[in-house]
């Protein structure tokens, strides 16, 4: 008896069929990303409030922080910051201890998806080191804020796990808890605005059709 081959793709609301093991940039759509991220909760949903703090909301915050850390960034690097967690529209947001338990297989899957996403939107698969470092720093600042204000961490514990942020005025940054449809719309609006800036930039990269 021939063993049935396991399905390795997911049907998206756009109608695309994304192969998780060999993702094609042509099967990546921003509407699918925005929708998925707006329904994926950070911290496994263990946050205060009537709505979860979603990956889409986190992505908007990281992009905003990145712009403060990286003076006058090129629009394409702002797009890279907005999409820094984009693979999670398919694989969800696993907390770090779970990622560590799964091991290198998770990292490999995340890398394949990120490569397809970056190619789809005209970004290099490997970001410049300075851009990558600034996005990572913005990500950790966001994680610290979320941990302290939403996820029940003390400041001492958050300092130990994520590092104390060194950025003036972060305590006043809003961490809104909004319905998924609202966050999705804002994510798409921000994407559209960045794309318009990229299009107006000389030498803008070509997108996959």
CA pair distance 61, 82, nearest whole angstrom: 8
Domain boundaries, the chain: 24-199
By residue count, the chain amounts to 209
Beta-carbon contacts of 42 under 8 Å, excluding residues fewer than 6 positions away, are: 52, 53, 54, 55, 57, 58, 93, 146, 151
- In this prediction, residue 1 carries a pLDDT of 52
Instruction: Walk along the chain (209 residues) and give the pLDDT tens digit of each residue.
Output: 555 566 688 999 999 999 988 999 999 999 999 999 999 999 999 999 999 999 999 999 999 999 999 888 999 999 999 999 999 999 988 767 766 666 667 788 899 999 999 999 999 999 999 999 999 999 999 999 999 999 999 999 999 999 999 888 888 888 999 999 999 999 999 999 999 999 998 765 545 44
The predicted structure's pLDDT at residue 209: 43
11: Cβ contacts below 8 Å, ≥ 6 apart: 17
Give the pLDDT score at 126. Answer: 97
DSSP string covering 22-84, please?
S--GGG--HHHHHHHHHTPBGGGG--SSSS--BHHHHHHHHHHHHHHHSSS--HHHHHHHHTT
Q: What is the pLDDT of residue 105?
A: 75
CATH of domain 24-199: 1.10.3210.10
Question: Which pTM value belongs to this model?
Answer: 0.91
| Residue whose tokens read 């609006």 | 189
- Locate tokens 């609202």: which residue? 182
């Amino acid at each position: 008896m021939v063993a049935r081959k396991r399905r390795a793709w997911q049907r998206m609301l756009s109608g695309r069929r994304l192969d998780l093991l060999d993702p094609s940039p042509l099967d990546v759509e921003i509407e699918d990303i925005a929708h998925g991220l707006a329904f994926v909760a950070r911290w496994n949903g263990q946050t205060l409030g009537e709505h979860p703090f979603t990956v889409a909301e986190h992505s908007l915050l990281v992009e905003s922080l990145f712009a403060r850390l990286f003076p006058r960034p090129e629009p394409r690097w702002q797009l890279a910051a907005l999409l820094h967690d984009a693979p999670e529209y398919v694989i969800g947001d696993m907390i770090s201890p779970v990622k560590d338990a799964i091991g290198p297989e998770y990292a490999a899957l995340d890398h394949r998806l990120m490569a397809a996403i970056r190619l789809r939107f005209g970004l290099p698969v490997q970001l410049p080191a300075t851009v990558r470092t600034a996005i990572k720093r913005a990500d950790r600042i966001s994680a610290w804020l979320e941990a302290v204000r939403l996820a029940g961490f003390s400041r001492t514990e958050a300092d130990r796990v994520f590092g104390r942020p060194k950025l003036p005025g972060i305590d006043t940054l809003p961490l809104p808890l909004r319905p998924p449809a609202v966050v999705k719309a804002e994510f798409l609006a921000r994407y559209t605005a960045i794309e318009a800036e990229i299009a107006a930039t000389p030498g803008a990269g070509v997108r996959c059709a």
